Amino acid sequence: MPIFEYQCRHCGHRFEQLVLPKSPAAECPACGKSDLEQMISLVSVSSEQTRKANLAAAKKRGAAIQKERAHEEHKALHAHYDEH
């Protein structure tokens, strides 16, 4: 869905608004004027996607580390028993 970021030329308020083809012209929620400058919205969308991708990657890494740790503990357990 297209979310556009606007900056109000009247009061400088910045806000994001979902814009549908049938949406009326966006208005500043702070002052109600429709004298808006449209910012580049793709930046916030792509950074959100990047953040989610990073989070997923971090989770994967964490799971891999835990698996490895469990494996090491298992090995240590065996080593312990093998000694006796």
For Zn ion, the binding residue among 13, 15, 27, 39 (CB under 5 A) is 13
Question: How far is residue 47's CA from residue 33's CA, in Å, rounded to a whole number?
Answer: 29
**Residue 11 vs 43, nearer CB to Zn ion:** 11
CB 36 within 8 A of CB 26: yes
Q: Minimum CB separation from Zn ion for residue 26, in Å?
A: 11
**Residue 14 vs 51, nearer CB to Zn ion:** 14
**Strands of 3-8's sheet in order across:** 14-18, 3-8, 36-39
Report which residue type is found at 51: R
> According to CB under 5 A, which residues from 19 to 58 bind Zn ion?
28, 30-31
Helices and strands counted in the chain (H then E): 1, 3
Q: Minimum CB separation from Zn ion for residue 13, in Å?
A: 4
Q: Does 8 bind Zn ion (CB under 5 A)?
A: yes
Q: Minimum CB separation from Zn ion for residue 70, in Å?
A: 56
